[in-house]
């Protein structure tokens, strides 16, 4: 893709704003008043996967958190704060973890190389590989093995979201949010739903991670 001059970014922004207010002069006034998104999107920082565009939604419709390889780590205060705010204060109805094929972060995690500061972050994905090593090693095609690891990474990050107290507590009291796992196919411009069974996944972790019930009994 051609490089965009820095100065042009402001011109592009002005044209974008003008296109939205052409038919609705109060568009930004309403947008500035509040946000009540139904969706929290946790995705990869990759520049080719913009959350709003691939979902076909407008500003204000989706609360977004992005990091390398869409990882949800319980010791990461950034993603933890986003989930807490989205669920407890915004009242989102759905949480989507979205990976994508051709993910550089996942590809880097598959390589036995010292990547400096990235090592502890990518270790989370290497742990996913270890958890599913038998199935992954049985896939002879390297590209398909890589894609399958991307899918497994999304599934495991969804499980990490489900393990959080705020999600379990909200689901116990309000019946939501529901957690979903997606992969975006860059080559086809297509979203793939991994069809995660949220209720079954929640039940599968509740023996050790049943935080919602414990917390509800103390309030």
3-state secondary structure (DSSP) of residue 38:
coil
Among all chains, which residue has been given the structure tokens 């003008």? 18
Q: So which residues are the catalytic ones?
A: 44, 46, 48, 100, 103
Mapping DSSP to helix (H, G, I), strand (E, B) and coil, where does residue 146 land?
helix
Q: Is the alpha carbon torsion for 175, 176, 181, 186 positive or negative? A: positive
| Cβ contact 102:187 at 8 Å | yes
CB atoms within 10 A of CB 114: 6
Collapsing DSSP to helix, strand or coil, 173 comes out as helix
d(CA 219, CA 30): 36
Pairing of strands 94-100, 39-44: parallel
Alpha-carbon torsion (101, 103, 106, 111), positive or negative: positive
Q: How much is the CA Rg of the chain, to the nearest whole Å?
A: 19
Contact between 71 and 157 (Cβ < 8 Å): yes
């Amino acid at each position: 893709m051609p490089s965009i001059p820095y100065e042009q970014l402001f011109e592009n922004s002005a044209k974008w704003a003008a296109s939205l207010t052409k038919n609705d002069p109060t568009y930004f006034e309403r947008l500035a008043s509040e946000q009540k998104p139904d969706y929290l999107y946790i995705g990869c920082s990759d520049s080719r996967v913009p959350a709003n565009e691939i979902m076909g939604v407008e500003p204000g419709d989706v609360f977004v958190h992005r990091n390398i390889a869409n990882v949800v780590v319980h010791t990461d205060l950034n993603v933890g704060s986003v989930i807490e705010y989205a669920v407890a204060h915004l009242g989102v109805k759905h949480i989507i973890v979205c990976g994508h094929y051709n993910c550089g972060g996942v590809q880097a995690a598959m390589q036995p190389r010292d990547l400096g500061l990235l090592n502890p972050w990518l270790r989370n994905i290497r742990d996913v590989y270890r958890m599913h090593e038998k199935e992954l090693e049985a896939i002879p095609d390297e590209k398909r093995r890589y894609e399958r690891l991307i899918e497994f990474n999304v599934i495991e990050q969804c499980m990490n979201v489900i393990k959080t107290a705020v999600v379990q507590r909200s689901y116990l009291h309000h019946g939501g949010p529901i957690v979903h796992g997606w992969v975006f196919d860059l080559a086809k411009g297509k979203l793939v739903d991994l069809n995660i069974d949220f209720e079954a996944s929640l039940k599968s972790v509740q023996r050790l991670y049943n935080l919602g019930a414990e917390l509800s009994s103390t309030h």
